[in-house]
């Protein structure tokens, strides 16, 4: 009786193996006719018992399954990409474990094709603003083709655009960990007809230059993206409210990129958000030393000095901004305002005086000081009109100061310029 049971078990196993192979053949036949849905159904029928099959049959099954789901993905089933990838990976792991290599080469080649399909569909997703779907596909493409690290870089960018900062942080941290640089050679030449500089493949560029339609060939290496990556990590930490991690990220980033003024500015902005205006001012001053020809840096130093009551410091910073950019309207307005504000502060003192002879004398003294300050503000704005003669903000502020000075002639002149 025991012998009969063993024979029956062997027969059942044999029948199961026969059924698996039959379903696999049916799936292969369906795929040859382009019917991936039928092929999928056949494979699903064999799925329950496939783990009991021999290694070669399992590898054959998963290789075919990878093909089926890749085809379904091409036909619009985006979720099928993952199934296809998992199946091809299973082929490779099975054959590596068994040492019997048959489908591995083809599986790896198919994974490369799937990676290309993923990238192409991710491009379309980005165009349609489906950023999260694009990020997931690009990351999957990177996993399939880890040498193509640019897929991971674009996955991180798409994740940021989707607003999924946790996902983007993971991707950027992975880029940092693998030492992604992202720099590459660009091959440029000037279009003789249009005069525009264009970027193209080296072979094409060289042919165009040789033909005479392009000139001035230049080979230039693009900037490394390492600073951008660590900067984005810090920015994402800030976005997530993890300020301590953000500050640590900036510290590490600046240690690796000491000449990157943008890192200094971003760190300064974080300190400003945290309410540490002294640290903000110190970092802005550092940035201004690094990039003295950037008028915005001097302007921002002026703003923070003004907020902190350092009027002379504010004026010096605004003047430096105007020196770098003579048409910097906001710096001109704020510089004028420092004199007006200082003059207005004297008005409070004037109004607090009594009617005694001493108080009246003091009143006249303070009024003269106030008027001189207002006139300093006028000088700034009259100079500003030389570079921005039609600027409404400058004209309006100038009109108000002339009105406060009681200078009716100039008040009417500016009013006419405003078209009032």
Q: Tell whether the torsion through CA atoms of 396, 398, 401 and 405 is positive or negative.
A: negative
- Is the whole model's pTM more than 0.75, yes or no? no
Which residue bears the tokens 């690290």?
A: 149
Q: What is the pLDDT of residue 7?
A: 42
Taking Cα atoms as reference points, which of 273, 271, 292, 295 lies closest to residue 283? 271
Taking Cα atoms as reference points, which of 149, 169, 158, 166 lies closest to residue 126? 158
Q: What is the pLDDT of residue 20?
A: 62
Report d(CA 409, CA 198) in Å as an integer.
57
Q: What is the pLDDT of residue 14?
A: 42
Q: What is the pLDDT of residue 1?
A: 43
Q: What is the pLDDT of residue 380?
A: 95
Q: What is the pLDDT of residue 196?
A: 94
Q: What is the pLDDT along the chain (420 residues), one digit of tens a residue?
A: 444 444 444 434 444 444 567 777 887 888 888 888 887 888 887 777 787 788 888 888 888 898 888 888 888 787 788 888 888 888 888 888 888 899 888 888 888 888 888 899 999 999 999 999 999 999 989 988 889 999 999 999 999 999 999 999 999 999 999 999 988 889 999 999 999 999 999 999 999 999 999 999 999 988 888 888 988 998 899 889 899 999 998 888 888 888 888 888 888 888 888 889 899 889 988 988 999 999 998 999 999 889 889 999 999 999 999 999 999 999 999 999 999 999 999 988 889 888 899 989 999 899 999 999 999 999 999 999 999 999 999 999 999 999 999 999 999 999 999 988
Q: In the chain, what are the domain boundaries? A: 18-128, 185-221, 292-420
Q: What is the pLDDT of residue 19?
A: 53
Q: Which CATH number fits domain 292-420: 3.40.50.2300, 3.30.1540.10, 1.20.140.10, 1.25.40.10?
A: 1.25.40.10
Helix (H) / strand (E) element for 214: namely strand 214-221
Q: What is the pLDDT of residue 9?
A: 42
Domain 18-128 class?
mainly alpha
Q: Residue 18 is encoded by which pair of tokens?
A: 């026969």
DSSP state letter for 51: G
Report d(CA 191, CA 379) in Å as an integer.
49
Q: Buried b / exposed e across 296-316, counting CB within 10 Å, b at 16+?
A: bbbbbbbbbbbeeebeebbbb
Span between the terminal Cα atoms of the chain, in Å: 115
């Amino acid at each position: 009786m025991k012998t009969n049971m063993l024979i029956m078990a062997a027969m059942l196993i044999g029948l199961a193996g026969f059924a698996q192979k039959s379903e696999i053949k049916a799936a292969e036949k369906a795929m040859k006719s382009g019917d991936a849905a039928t092929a999928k159904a056949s494979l699903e029928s064999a799925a329950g018992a496939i783990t009991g099959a021999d290694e070669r049959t399992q590898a054959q099954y998963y290789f075919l399954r990878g093909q089926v789901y890749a085809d379904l993905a091409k036909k619009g089933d985006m979720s099928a990409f993952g199934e296809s990838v998992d199946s091809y990976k299973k082929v490779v792991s099975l054959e590596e474990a068994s040492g019997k290599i048959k489908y591995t080469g083809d599986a790896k080649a198919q994974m490369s094709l799937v990676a290309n399909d993923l990238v192409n569909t991710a491009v379309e997703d980005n165009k349609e603003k489906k950023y999260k779907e694009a990020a997931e596909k690009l990351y999957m493409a990177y996993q399939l083709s880890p040498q193509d690290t640019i897929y991971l870089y674009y996955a991180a960018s798409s994740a940021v655009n989707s607003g999924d900062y946790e996902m983007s942080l993971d991707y950027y941290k992975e880029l940092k960990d693998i030492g992604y640089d992202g720099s590459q050679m660009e091959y440029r030449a000037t279009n003789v007809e249009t005069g525009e500089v264009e970027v193209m493949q080296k072979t094409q560029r060289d042919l165009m230059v040789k033909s005479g339609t392009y000139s001035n060939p230049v080979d230039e290496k693009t900037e490394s993206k390492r600073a951008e990556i660590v900067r984005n990590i810090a920015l994402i930490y800030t976005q997530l409210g993890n300020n301590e991690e953000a500050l640590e990220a900036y510290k590490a980033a600046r240690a690796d990129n000491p000449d990157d003024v943008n890192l200094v500015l971003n760190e300064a902005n974080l300190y400003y958000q945290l309410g540490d205006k002294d640290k903000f001012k110190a970092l802005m001053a550092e940035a201004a030393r690094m990039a003295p020809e950037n008028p915005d840096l001097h302007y921002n130093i002026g703003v923070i000095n003004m907020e902190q009551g350092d009027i002379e410091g504010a004026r010096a910073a605004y003047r430096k901004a105007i020196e770098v950019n003579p048409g910097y309207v906001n710096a001109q307005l704020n510089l004028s305002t420092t004199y007006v504000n200082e003059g207005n502060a004297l008005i409070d003192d004037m109004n607090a005086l009594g009617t005694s002879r001493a108080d009246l004398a003091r009143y006249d003294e303070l009024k003269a000081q106030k008027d001189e300050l207002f006139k300093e503000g006028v000088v700034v704005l009259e100079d500003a009109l030389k570079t921005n003669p039609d600027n409404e903000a400058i004209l309006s502020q100038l009109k108000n100061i002339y009105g406060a000075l009681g200078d009716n002639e100039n008040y009417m002149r500016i009013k006419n310029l405003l078209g009032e």
